[in-house]
Structure 1
């Protein structure tokens, strides 16, 4: 299980207290974690099972309501709190940039004509700016008192800033292509 998924599940469990796996999943999805943390909803259940095996979380109850499947309630253990603190510090101090899928395409961009690539980069910049603005609208909603905890707004702000930076680069790259910077 990826460190980010471990951190996300341990941290959310720490914030919510003892909780059913379904409710933890619902909480994280309400935060938008499936997008900004790239966590698939099903991986939350897998993480809980792995963390239980490692004794970082423990089962405190199981119950069944009617014909519904059995629901398990989890809580953080002392070892889970220590792992959460370790992962949190590691995550916030780590400055490595994750691999971006665009990097592979950039290694081969000279194999496309500049008059095709430049408009693609301009469109990319426009799309990225639109996504960033949509995310900023989400921040405004969070800060207006929506159901998402206020501190989660920083994850959204960070994502918007990354999109803005990439949009600026894409527009400048389009300028370089149009100026003939890569013509042989």
Structure 2
């Protein structure tokens, strides 16, 4: 969807310019667009009839550069993908959630330290995004939607920082980890506090 959308927006456009624009948006970090796969994706979209090559030019010893445009079939596919993502509710999987499900397997001090560390990393990330938003790079040269996405990520990051702190405080306070029936089972005693609570 990202590649089809950018070709539609910038056409006629070289693959190099599509790659540069995606990287300038940071799409390699938030849209799982890998820089090395962009040229392959352009060729594949061309083979599927979603894009068409309109010119190939070579200047001196440089590699030939192909210029692309989107086809009517490509426009339909882009709009279908776009609306599917706008109207759907897609949850991203975070490996941390799977690890957190086994909270009782960690000693309380380690769980507290890990959560506080996660909060610090997230806080630094939020500050970096905030600085990027305030720079002219985002404000003046990118579509307004990119800066609004940064607002969303900042808000999510701030919420998770606060959550990490709250949960770390609860663990430090000795809030029980498990229901009474599970607390006595073997294999779940690592998370005991100094007072023996789970």
Q: Which is further off, 79-88 or 174-183?
A: 174-183
Counterpart residue number, 1:3: none
TM-score by length of 1: 0.89
Counterpart residue number, 2:7: 13
CA distance in structure 1 between the partners assigned to 2:157 and 2:16 by the alignment: 31
CA distance in structure 2 between the partners assigned to 1:68 and 1:143 by the alignment: 31
Residue number among 167, 170, 175 corresponding to 1:176 in the alignment: 170
Aligned: 1:41 with 2:35: yes
User: Which structure 2 residue ranges, 5 or more long, are not aligned?
Assistant: 178-196
CA distance in structure 1 between the partners assigned to 2:32 and 2:161 by the alignment: 20
- Once the two structures are superposed, residues 131-162 of structure 1 have per-residue CA deviations (whole angstroms, 9 ceiling, x without a partner) of 012112212225541x3233211222222222
CA distance in structure 1 between the partners assigned to 2:173 and 2:142 by the alignment: 46
Counterpart residue number, 1:154: 148
Q: Which is further off, 161-170 or 22-31?
A: 161-170
Alignment root-mean-square deviation, CA: 1.5
CA distance in structure 2 between the partners assigned to 1:159 and 1:45 by the alignment: 28
CA distance in structure 1 between the partners assigned to 2:126 and 2:25 by the alignment: 17
Counterpart residue number, 2:116: 122
TM-score by length of 2: 0.83
Shift of 1:14: 1.4
Q: Which has the larger radius of gyration?
A: 2
Aligned: 1:67 with 2:61: yes
Q: Which is further off, 154-163 or 27-36?
A: 154-163
Counterpart residue number, 1:22: 16
Counterpart residue number, 1:98: 92
Shift of 1:163: 1.7
Structure 1 residue matching 2:116: 3-state secondary structure: helix
Shift of 1:28: 0.9
- Asked if 1 retains the 8 angstrom alpha-carbon contact of 2:139 and 2:147, the reply is no
User: Which structure 1 residue ranges, 5 or more long, are not aligned?
Assistant: 1-6
Counterpart residue number, 1:139: 133
- Asked if 2 retains the 8 angstrom alpha-carbon contact of 1:36 and 1:155, the reply is no
CA distance in structure 2 between the partners assigned to 1:172 and 1:50 by the alignment: 48
- Asked if 2 retains the 8 angstrom alpha-carbon contact of 1:36 and 1:156, the reply is no
